[in-house]
Amino acid sequence: MVNSVVIVGGGTAGWMTATYLRATFGDRLPVTLVESADVPTVGVGEATFSTVRHFFDYLGLAEHEWMPSCNASYKLAIRFENWRGTGEHFYHPFERLRVADGFSLADWWLKSGGRDGRRFDEACYVLPALCEAKRSPKHFDGELFERSLHDGGDRLRRTTMSQQDTQFPYAYHFDAARLATFLADFGTRRGVRRVLDDVVEVRQDDRGWISHLVTREHGEIRGDLFIDCTGFRGLLLNKTLGEDFVSFQDVLPNDRAVALRVPTDVEREGMAPYTTASARDSGWIWTIPLFGRIGTGYVYSSQFCSPEEAEKELRSFVGPRAEGLEANHIRMRIGRNRRSWVKNCVAVGLSSGFVEPLESTGIFFIQHGIEQLVKHFPGEDWDPALVDAYNDRVACCLEGVREFLTLHYRAAARADTPYWKAAKERALPEGMAERLRGWEARLPDGGGVYPYYHGFDPYSYAVMLLGLGHHPARVHPALELLDGAEAERQFADVRRQSERLVAELPAQHAYLARLQG
């Protein structure tokens, strides 16, 4: 039996893991978390997947209980700016494509040759209109904008992400440091033992398994299962157990970021309910609106841009408000461990693997890692079949996302700087070239994408192909033989629904101001 768990690291990964394990096993499994008062957390990681609500749901937390403390806001989409050409944008929304006569509205949009100049995302989806109008996805009474999309609300269900088969229409932005503080408080009140100290040594037994940690002031800490949440350092898995790290840098070259925290006046400026990813000469800039400030950062490749140039670029993007703000420069380790679980040590979070934050997957990987850990939880014999299955799932999840992100650069019509030119010539992950050829003939729908669970549905691929300008050159032949009346009805429905919702829903800042109380 695993009788105790010891987590090293008190960032988002450490505290999400500690609280999730307590919520799952309660007092039957003691959890200790050791975090350093001196080694800082990475300090970023503010945009999420819609499925993160299963995590809060699992902990029994409703939005009003955690969102105000974390300055959280809603995210209905990612807005991509300038990836196709200067001044162009489109949204990747948390909304599946509607279907008419067996074909998605995106196929029908291609057939119509662009529907009188309406972008595909405006024509096929409701959420882009709510984004442009800066609307909240909920009415003041807390009711979700579309009842039919509401899959159970705040009722506790304890489903995991990979078991969800609907698309929930929004995710969250939050302040990462505040979330860690909130979860630390929540966790310690529910029995997580918190040790504020530095781990100075990790000791192994004769088999090479971790026996205990040595801390600066609290002596030895023993446990059965050790979770490495030490961030890019990988103190337990890489430094102690020597597990190899497989770099993704050959296909995803962005290896640095510089971030700023910009105060805002939400009442005067309003709040966009989306993350923005703006393409720049050697990378892209994120803009994440929180309640009271904006988190922003330039993600770039050190092959093409120096940290000084990147900071200058970011400051000029932000404008006068950037003056006097301190920049946080970050080196990113892009890739995954060959295995995230070795012997009695499991790495979760940045210590397990990471790809650049373009589709906000960092916290998703954490949640996936801990959900799968519970599903593969070891017994007395530490069955290698469970460990192998866990490692396969984690590896496939990261590799699927690697492919989805590679698509962003390969499909982007932009090729005007050395950085964007090189993106068109770089190697592709195995199997992707063939899939890409398939998408040149027809948009992905039920299948045709990376085949293992990695969080993204085929519709996300279709959105990126259309938005970035890499869609099939000809209309699907079957559509020439179909009556388009049903598709017309659906396009009209999207338009009517968008107009009605923009008129009915409150502004996001007004909704959140009430939630703040």
Ligand X SMILES: N[C@@H](Cc1c[nH]c2cc(Cl)ccc12)C(=O)O
State yes or no: 126 annotated in a binding site. no
State yes or no: 482 annotated in a binding site. no
State yes or no: 361 annotated in a binding site. no
Size of the site for ligand FAD (CB under 6 A): 38
Give me 408's structure tokens.
Answer: 């962003």
Does 187 sit near ligand X (CB under 6 A)?
Answer: no
Q: What is the DSSP letter of 413?
A: S
Whether 76 and 274 have beta carbons less than 8 Å apart is answered as yes
Give me 338's structure tokens.
Answer: 């060959």
Catalytic residue check, 75: yes
Region 355-384 residues binding ligand FAD, contact defined as CB under 6 A: 357, 360, 362-363, 366
- Interface with ligand X (CB under 6 A), residue from 55, 108, 390, 456: 456
Q: Is 75 helix (H, G, I), strand (E, B) or coil?
A: strand
Name the binder of 50 from ligand X, ligand FAD, none, CB < 5-8 A by kind: ligand X
Between 348 and 377, how does the x/- string for binding to ligand X read (CB under 6 A)?
-----------xx-----------------
Least spacing, CB of residue 9 vs ligand FAD, in Å: 3
Print burial letters for 298-330: b (CB count within 10 Å at least 16), e (below 16): bbbbeebbebeebbebbbeebeeebeeeebeeb
Least spacing, CB of residue 416 vs ligand FAD, in Å: 24
Name the binder of 32 from ligand X, ligand FAD, none, CB < 5-8 A by kind: none
Least spacing, CB of residue 401 vs ligand FAD, in Å: 11
Region 215-234 residues binding ligand FAD, contact defined as CB under 6 A: 229-231, 233
Name the binder of 41 from ligand X, ligand FAD, none, CB < 5-8 A by kind: ligand FAD
What residues have CB less than 8 Å from 377, skipping those under 6 apart?
A: 2, 386
Does 344 sit near ligand FAD (CB under 6 A)?
Answer: no
Between 67 and 86, how does the x/- string for binding to ligand X read (CB under 6 A)?
----------xx--------
Print burial letters for 87-96: b (CB count within 10 Å at least 16), e (below 16): ebbbbbbbbb
What residues have CB less than 8 Å from 473, skipping those under 6 apart?
A: 440
Q: Is the dihedral of CA 338, 339, 344, 348 positive or negative?
A: positive
**Residue ranges with strand state E in 178-235:** 193-196, 199-204, 210-215, 220-222, 225-228
Does 283 sit near ligand FAD (CB under 6 A)?
Answer: no
Give the nearer residue to ligand X in terms of CB position, either 215 or 275.
275
Distance (Å, whole) CA 368 – CA 396: 11
Does 94 sit near ligand X (CB under 6 A)?
Answer: yes
End-to-end CA distance of the chain: 46
Does 45 sit near ligand FAD (CB under 6 A)?
Answer: yes
Whether 429 and 246 have beta carbons less than 8 Å apart is answered as no
Between 401 and 420, how does the x/- string for binding to ligand FAD read (CB under 6 A)?
--------------------
Does 287 sit near ligand X (CB under 6 A)?
Answer: no
Give the nearer residue to ligand FAD in terms of CB position, either 17 or 391.
17
Give the nearer residue to ligand X in terms of CB position, either 19 or 460.
460
Give me 155's structure tokens.
Answer: 């009722």
Give me 274's structure tokens.
Answer: 């989306």
- Interface with ligand FAD (CB under 6 A), residue from 8, 77, 260, 310: 8
Give helix then strand counts, H and E, for the chain. Answer: 17, 23
Distance (Å, whole) CA 357 – CA 363: 10
Least spacing, CB of residue 70 vs ligand X, in Å: 18
Residue nearest to ligand X (CB): 49
Q: Is 468 helix (H, G, I), strand (E, B) or coil?
A: helix
Size of the site for ligand X (CB under 6 A): 14
Name the binder of 45 from ligand X, ligand FAD, none, CB < 5-8 A by kind: ligand FAD
Give me 23's structure tokens.
Answer: 């919520």
Distance (Å, whole) CA 492 – CA 495: 5
- CA of residue 9 relative to chain centroid, distance: 20
Question: Per the annotation, where are the binding residues for FAD?
Answer: 10-13, 199, 350, 363
Binding residues for 7-chloro-L-tryptophan: 75
Catalogue the active-site residues. Answer: 75
Point out which residues bind ligand X (CB under 6 A): 49-51, 77-78, 92, 94, 167, 171, 359-360, 455-456, 460
